[in-house]
Amino acid sequence: MKISKEDFAQKLTEIFPEKAAALKQHYEEYGELLGHVFFSDEINVPLFAMLMERESGDEISKYCVFIEEMWRDGADDVVNIVNVTIVERLSDDETVWEHFGKNISDDFITYINEDWLIANKLMMCSIKRLEFNGRRRGGDYE
């Protein structure tokens, strides 16, 4: 069974406990989980900034592992969040995009290069294919 966006939002707060207040506030403001809004605020904003600065380390790795888990194990609406909200935004800047590619698995890179970029070729025609880095699967959260 595929994992829902609500379950992924909860899991994000387990990996990053400081995001629990943001999730609570999101539910108070919207009355439901608006996945594209929540995950953009809580993944894209911090990850984009770290990748822009070419930072490396555990925090970037945790985000990337989480994104891959959403893509691999998520329900269709979760995969849509990954594609439209997360990956598309990270592809907006060449430095961020290249650094993101260095932090994800070859499986995810294959999906991005062979499926995502091709399916969106008109809109994404200027986006550079990611280079393989020899990682078979995403890491873990430790």
Within-domain flag for 136:
no
Contact 36, 85 (CB under 8 A): yes
Residue 120: its pLDDT value, please?
A: 63
Question: Looking at the predicted structure, is the pLDDT value of residue 71 above 90?
Answer: yes
Within-domain flag for 103:
yes
What average pLDDT does range 74-81 have in this prediction? 97
Domain count, the chain: 1
Within-domain flag for 78:
yes
79 Cβ contact partners less than 8 Å away, ≥ 6 residues apart: 70, 71
Within-domain flag for 63:
yes
Residue-range definition of the domain harbouring residue 65: 5-124
Confidence of residue 97 (pLDDT cuts 50, 70, 90): confident
Within-domain flag for 141:
no
Question: What is the pTM (predicted TM-score) of this model?
Answer: 0.86
Alpha helices of the chain — where are they, by DSSP H? 5-15, 20-30, 35-39, 45-52, 58-73, 76-80, 88-90, 94-101, 106-111, 117-119, 121-124
Average per-residue pLDDT for the chain: 88
Question: Looking at the predicted structure, is the pLDDT value of residue 73 above 80?
Answer: yes
Better-scored residue on pLDDT, 72 or 142:
72
Within-domain flag for 37:
yes
Residue 42: its pLDDT value, please?
A: 98
Residue 89: how many other CB atoms lie within 10 Å: 16
Residue 141: its pLDDT value, please?
A: 45
Within-domain flag for 25:
yes
